[in-house]
Amino acid sequence: MIQKTRETVLEIDLGALAHNYRILRSKIGKDVKMMAVVKAFGYGSDANEIAKKLSELGVDYFAVAYTSEGIALREAGIEKPILVLHPQSVNFESIIENCLEPSVYSEFVLREFIKTAEKLGQKEYPIHLKLNTGLHRLGFDENELDLVFDYLSKTNAVKVKAVFSHLAASEDWKEREFTLQQINKFRKMAFKIIEFLPSRPLLHLCNTSGIFNYPEASFDMVRSGIGLYGFGNDPEIDKDLKPIGTLKTIISQIHEVEKGESIGYNRAFKASGKMKTATLPIGHADGINRQYGNEKAGVFINGNYAPIIGNVCMDMLMIDITGIDCKEGDEVILFGGPQPAPEFAEKGKTISYELITGISQRVKRRIILE
Ligand SMILES: *Cc1c(COP(=O)(O)O)cnc(C)c1O
């Protein structure tokens, strides 16, 4: 199925996705549910294709960041429950119309969502209560729980289907003590809520690194994003996973450059001797940002490393191919294969999450079936 490319593409390997799904499943108990996080176009891949494949594999739940992402999944025919992690009140009617489940993280969201659910005649509409256990991003604090109970006791339009929180540093062993405190706080707050509610909600806390590093905290469900796409924030974990994405392009043109000549905008690179350069049809508008330019990062051609030289342009970048046997039209790999995304990302002083979610929608996605 893998064919040589003739343009810039992000290949998405659904076989690798299935492999990662099975590895993640093997780390959690049989009764623990798996929520696949497919926000931001499936971490820059293709959310619909990822969600379809994971549905086939038996995933229990999906999560997205925003309402529009959940609606897109519904339009693609995804029928599993979908949690919207960060909904805004303007979207509450759409959430209900599309059978999406909101994360309710503040008094404002709780009050407004109840109002909308009542207006639309809902009974026991499922919501996930988000607790702040130390990330201080979204969620109720412990001292707000009585307020939450007050709202809930006055309506039957919503039902707390789940209670969840998010770990701040599950990949960082130096913050182990903090993470254990977060887990304890979650347990304590969740048990208060369980005591109040008529039926037991699902509890979920762990993201990918949480699944690997704190298996004792998997509760009723785990939420995995980056792991499904093939990365575990740790070289040891990465060994067991398979990156699903490979970003490829081709050589558009080759130049022979003489000593002293410059390459690219602002003449940022000057040849120190006779050299050969190649121009690639991918630039910062595609998500290969300027931070990778000026030899910070490089690409692979026929197994050889070729540094990016000069400033990355909007639609192109130039590489040094001196001494590399290659020709116009040859395939070039930016990340995947010989250079996994975390390695490429590190050269630009960032992380795999930012690199892969930043590949713009202009880049064609090619799905590789299992
Ligand atoms: C994005 C996100 C996740 C997924 O995290 P990974 O590290 O990619 O597994 C889980 N939970 C919440 C609340 C998130 O925002």
Domains observed in the chain:
32-229 (3.20.20.10), 245-368 (2.40.37.10)
Residues of the chain above pLDDT 90, percent? 99
Q: What's the one-letter identity of residue 185?
A: K
pLDDT value at 279 more than 90:
yes
Contact between 310 and 264 (Cβ < 8 Å): yes
pLDDT value at 1 more than 80:
no
Three-class secondary structure of residue 334 per DSSP: strand
- Residues labelled catalytic: 39, 265
Closest atom of ligand 1 to 170 CA is: 7
Q: What is the pLDDT of residues 107-157, one digit of tens each?
A: 999 999 999 999 999 999 999 999 999 999 999 999 999 999 999 999 999
Q: What band does 4 get if pLDDT is binned at 50, 70 and 90?
A: confident
What does the pLDDT average to over 327-344?
97
pLDDT value at 294 more than 90:
yes
What does the pLDDT average to over 212-224?
98
Three-class secondary structure of residue 100 per DSSP: coil
Q: Which residues have C-beta within 8 Å of that of residue 277, sequence separation ≥ 6?
A: 254, 255, 257, 263, 309, 318, 319, 320, 321, 322
Q: What band does 53 get if pLDDT is binned at 50, 70 and 90?
A: very high
Å from CA of 172 to ligand 1 middle: 15
What is the average pLDDT score of the chain? Answer: 97
Backbone Cα Rg of the chain: 24
Å from CA of 225 to ligand 1 middle: 6
What does the pLDDT average to over 251-260?
98
Q: What is the pLDDT of residues 75-86, one digit of tens each?
A: 999 999 999 999
Contact between 44 and 359 (Cβ < 8 Å): yes
The pLDDT value given to residue 370: 77
What does the pLDDT average to over 58-69?
98
Torsion, Cα 113 117 123 127, to 10 degrees, reads -30
Choose one of 28, 83, 85 to mutate for the ligand 1 pocket test, by most ligand atoms within 8 angstroms of C-beta.
Answer: 85
The whole-angstrom separation of Cα 230 and Cα 253 is: 33
Q: What is the pLDDT of residues 31-49, one digit of tens each?
A: 999 999 999 999 999 999 9
The pLDDT value given to residue 2: 58
The pLDDT value given to residue 351: 97
Alpha helices, H only, the chain: 14-27, 39-44, 47-57, 67-75, 92-97, 107-119, 145-153, 176-196, 208-213, 235-238, 341-347, 352-357
